[in-house]
DNA sequence: CTCTATTTAGACCAAATGGTCAAACTCCAT
DNA sequence: ATGGAGTTTGACCATTTGGTCTAAATAGAG
């Protein structure tokens, strides 16, 4: 995922215009992005101040603005990273394995993400709920195409009788909804049930319950 | 909900200190609450300005502040209304009817709410995602108790063998997640599938799919 | 019609905040 | 060492914004 800093092919012509960047230049950007994610995901774009983010990242406001020209630009950069992470599990949805196995694996991957990257999930949620004027193109382009590809696979499974008939879109939406619920609505889950995904026992029980629910919906009686 | 204005016991001593309130005083409050809901649900608490809300409600900022002493107070008032609406369907979850019927009815009620009050759903979502410091007590008190009551019913159904074994909390969370997804993530649903709950055909298909999924999860083969 | 409690609006204020600028500092290749 | 590119900082500015204050307008009871 980390991009190489492009080095000039031949160092003979000109002495390698080596990055004079401060050794930790890239590390600082990451610090800022992390701080931005933390703040944006908990108080939103408008609720977070540049100064607050800078403080959390351990530098001055002015210095932050040196790395990112404006708050909006930083926000976009944070969102972009989040989107990549968010898309990852769906890309890994495996069309070649058994349907039951593919769904089981996908559900576990999404819930793992909800456990390990809840801030990313929440920021994504905030952005979508508010209308995502910024993410719209991404959703209508890459995401839509990706979903369509997976939906085709699911439909073919259905046609082969390997799973019961079900609308692929609704199926995918349901899995997204349930798995992300445990990250996005964590405080509600905690308030109502007193549990958190950080508790390994609870995590496994959520994985199992979700898998059971979806597989049952597919007409695949889970053998348990 | 609306409190009676306390009238002095005997009107003989003093002439009834009748409210001199402008006839449409209450209507204006509603206008403001509606405008607040619209703005808060689309740009969040921090993203909405008092002036903007006032403009949308058709009065001056100062006048709005006359009805609600501060932005936060208005926000709380809006949230309170939203919470009441949000809780409604769960309270109506009927313990006396057949399990399948109760779930079918509940799912339809929640989806109807997602269709007819998407702004309320989104504001609730925003608040929870951001940690709901304000709603926390409500969640840990009334909501938790209500869920516990319904969970008990579900467990008893399970014990009687009327539905398959399933963790009631996860079941409820799943229903919430799926049904609210169609309101909260409407732009994503639209971007990916091109459909909206406002389309009656789509609405019915979502209701049916969700009911099928949940009932299958309960081991109740829907007769369809 | 008058008198008073309620309502409305405009001017104003202080704090917060996004962003700019020029000066200073840190490296590193020469 | 040193010159210049890259980095960091503090001072500063314009705007937004939540909220106050005062005064005008208005509605209804008598």
Q: Are A177 and A213 in contact (CB under 8 A)?
A: no
Put simply, the answer to whether B174 touches A178 (Cβ < 8 Å) is yes
Among A207, A184, A43, smallest CA distance to A121 is for A184
CA B35 to C1' C7, in angstroms, rounded, equals 20
Torsion angles phi and psi, residue B177, rounded to 5: -55, -50
Among B169, B175, B164, B170, smallest CA distance to B209 is for B175
Which chain B residues have a beta carbon less than 8 Å from that of A46?
Answer: 43-44, 46-47
- Per-residue confidence in pLDDT tens, chain B, 224 aa: 333 333 333 333 333 444 456 557 788 999 999 999 999 999 999 999 999 999 999 999 999 999 999 999 999 999 999 999 999 999 999 889 999 999 999 999 999 999 999 999 999 999 999 999 889 999 999 999 999 999 999 999 999 999 999 999 999 999 999 999 999 999 999 999 999 999 999 999 999 999 999 999 999 875 44
Which chain B residues have a beta carbon less than 8 Å from that of A174?
Answer: 178, 181, 209-210, 213
Mean pLDDT on A173-198: 98
Rounded to an integer, what distance in angstroms lies between the CA atom of residue B175 and that of residue B155? 16
Put simply, the answer to whether B173 touches A189 (Cβ < 8 Å) is yes
Q: Are B157 and B215 in contact (CB under 8 A)?
A: no
Rounded to an integer, what distance in angstroms lies between the CA atom of residue B219 and that of residue B161? 10
Name residues 1-30 of chain B with a Cβ under 7 Å from nucleic strand C.
Answer: 20-22, 25, 28
Put simply, the answer to whether A185 touches B129 (Cβ < 8 Å) is yes
Q: Are A163 and A99 in contact (CB under 8 A)?
A: yes
Q: Which residue of A has its CA nearest to B119?
A: A129
CA A11 to C1' D1, in angstroms, rounded, equals 26
Rounded to an integer, what distance in angstroms lies between the CA atom of residue B68 and that of residue B54? 11
Mean pLDDT on A91-96: 90
Among B105, B109, B86, B89, smallest CA distance to B97 is for B105
Which residue in B38, B118, B192 has the most chain A C-beta atoms within 10 A of its own C-beta, making it the best mutation to test that interface?
B192
Minimal Cβ distance to B216: which of A128, A139, A217 = A217
Measure the CA angle with vertex B172, ends B209 and B153; round to 5°: 115
A23 is near strand C: CB distance < 7 Å: yes
pLDDT category, A142, cuts 50, 70, 90? Answer: very high
**What are the CA-CA distances from residue A210 to residues A111, A181, A191, B149, B174 (Å)?**
9, 12, 20, 23, 8
CA B20 to C1' D28, in angstroms, rounded, equals 7
Rounded to an integer, what distance in angstroms lies between the CA atom of residue B164 and that of residue B161? 6
Among A107, A106, A122, A128, smallest CA distance to A183 is for A122
Put simply, the answer to whether A209 touches B139 (Cβ < 8 Å) is no
Q: Please give the pLDDT value at position B95.
A: 86
User: Is the pLDDT reported for residue A5 higher than 70?
Assistant: no
Query: Cβ of A9: how many Cβ atoms within 10 Å?
Result: 7
Determine the protein residue whose CA lies at the shortest distance from the C1' of D10: A62
CA B62 to C1' C1, in angstroms, rounded, equals 31
What does pTM read for this prediction?
Answer: 0.90
Q: Please give the pLDDT value at position A16.
A: 38
Which residue in A75, A170, A209 has the most chain B C-beta atoms within 10 A of its own C-beta, making it the best mutation to test that interface?
A170
For strand C, which nucleotides have at least one atom less than 7 Å from a protein CB? 5-11, 16-22, 27-30
Q: Please give the pLDDT value at position A21.
A: 57
Q: Please give the pLDDT value at position B27.
A: 86
Put simply, the answer to whether A217 touches B219 (Cβ < 8 Å) is no
Put simply, the answer to whether A132 touches B216 (Cβ < 8 Å) is no
Which chain A residues have a beta carbon less than 8 Å from that of B195?
Answer: 169
Q: Provide the angle, in degrees to the nearest 10, between the axes of the packed helices B200-217 and B168-184.
A: 160
| Residue B15: nearest nucleotide (C-alpha to C1') | D29
Rounded to an integer, what distance in angstroms lies between the CA atom of residue B124 and that of residue B114? 12
Concatenate the DSSP letters of all residues of A14-36 into one string: S------S-TTHHHHHHHHHHHH
Put simply, the answer to whether B216 touches A216 (Cβ < 8 Å) is yes
pLDDT 10s digits, A186-215: 999 999 999 999 999 999 999 999 999 999
Minimal Cβ distance to B188: which of A128, A166, A187 = A128
């Amino acid at each position: 995922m980390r991009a190489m800093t492009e080095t000039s092919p031949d160092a003979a012509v000109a002495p390698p215009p080596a990055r004079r960047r401060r050794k930790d230049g890239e590390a600082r950007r990451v610090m800022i992005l992390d701080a931005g994610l933390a703040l944006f995901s908990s108080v939103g774009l408008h609720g977070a101040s540049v100064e607050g983010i800078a403080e959390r990242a351990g530098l001055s406001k002015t210095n932050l603005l040196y790395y990112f020209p404006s708050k909006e630009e930083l926000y976009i950069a944070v969102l972009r990273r989040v989107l990549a992470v968010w898309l990852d599990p769906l890309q890994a949805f495996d069309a070649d394995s058994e349907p039951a196995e593919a769904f089981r694996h996908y559900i576990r991957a999404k819930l793992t993400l909800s456990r390990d990257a809840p801030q990313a999930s929440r920021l994504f949620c905030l952005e979508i709920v508010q209308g995502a004027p910024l993410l719209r193109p991404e959703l209508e382009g890459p995401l839509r195409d990706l979903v369509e590809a997976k939906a085709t696979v699911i439909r073919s499974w259905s046609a082969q009788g390997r799973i019961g008939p079900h609308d692929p879109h609704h199926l995918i939406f349901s899995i997204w909804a349930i798995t992300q619920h445990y990250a996005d609505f964590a405080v509600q889950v905690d308030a109502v049930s007193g549990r958190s995904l950080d508790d390994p026992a609870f995590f496994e029980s959520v994985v199992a319950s979700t898998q059971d629910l979806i597989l049952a919906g597919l007409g695949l009686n889970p053998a348990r």
